[in-house]
Amino acid sequence: MAAQHAILFISGAGLPAWIWDDVRQCLGDGQPLAVAARPAGRSPAGLRDFADAALGSAPTGRFAIVAHSIGGVIGAEIAGLVPERVTAFLGVSAVVPRPGASFLSAMPIPNRWVLSAVMRVAGNRPPDKAIRRGLADRLDEQTTERLLADFTTEPTGLYRSRTPGQSWAGRRGYLFTDRDREVPVAVQRRSARQLGAQWVGNLDTGHLPMLEDPRALAGSITGFLATAPTTRREAGR
């Protein structure tokens, strides 16, 4: 069923495109698969810039969004901009703020205050120690070193830009990562409710299931897309 959907993968903050390689291999060659590009040549970039760059790298025509972490914010922006092109939306430990809020404001207190203060003082790239302890908590050393080498510092605008009101009414799902040390399960639950998830699943992984257990993630993506309509009429357009 997944072969009926082209897919746009949207990565979490700072994460390189190659994190999706194993998932894409598991899904096979039956459909166009693309990883959202980051904005280039414009600074400082905000949420709309990220959405425009992602759309520029998206499969032609209609596609499903698989959004990870802060990618949920970008995915929500895309769904609002081109609702007629988005067949389905799956959040993977994705942060989905209420309309008019930002990624930072979706974090629980006092986490949002700490994160905001750290960004002002130390910048937007977490220390390597923090990446090891959080993002890479359950990864092997070789993968962790590669992740550290390729991690990208994102602009502040991505974290602080306010999300638009949602006007998209397609199929929505959410995958919880039960051992996540980056996005607390309480935030995941709140994001799933905000997204209006009609399908939910769980993965026994940390924040990066695409690296920790790509086969399980690919299976969940396939399972979700099997429930999602692919035609304009079925999608309510």
Residue 230: the pLDDT is 60
Give the pLDDT confidence score for residue 177 in this predicted structure.
98
**Structural element, H or E, at residue 24:** helix 21-27
Does domain 2-225 correspond to CATH entry 3.40.50.1820? yes
The CA angle 171-177-181, to the nearest 5 degrees, is 135
Alpha-carbon dihedral 7, 97, 153, 18, rounded to 10 degrees: -20
How many residues in the chain?
237
- Residues 182-215: tens digit of each pLDDT: 898 999 999 999 999 999 999 999 999 999 999 9
105: region left, alpha or beta (phi > 0 left; psi from -120 to 50 alpha)? alpha
Max CA separation in the chain (angstroms): 50
12 close to 38: Cβ distance less than 8 angstroms: no
What pLDDT does residue 115 have? 54
**Measured distance CA(117)–CA(113) in Å, rounded:** 6
d(CA 123, CA 21): 29
Residue 56: per-residue pLDDT: 96
The C-alpha angle with vertex 89 and arms to 105 and 43, in degrees rounded to 5, equals 50
Give mean pLDDT in consecutive 10-residue pieces for the chain, a chain of 237 residues: 77 95 90 92 80 96 96 93 95 90 68 48 68 92 96 84 77 96 92 95 97 97 87 38
pLDDT confidence of residue 42: 57
pTM of the model: 0.88
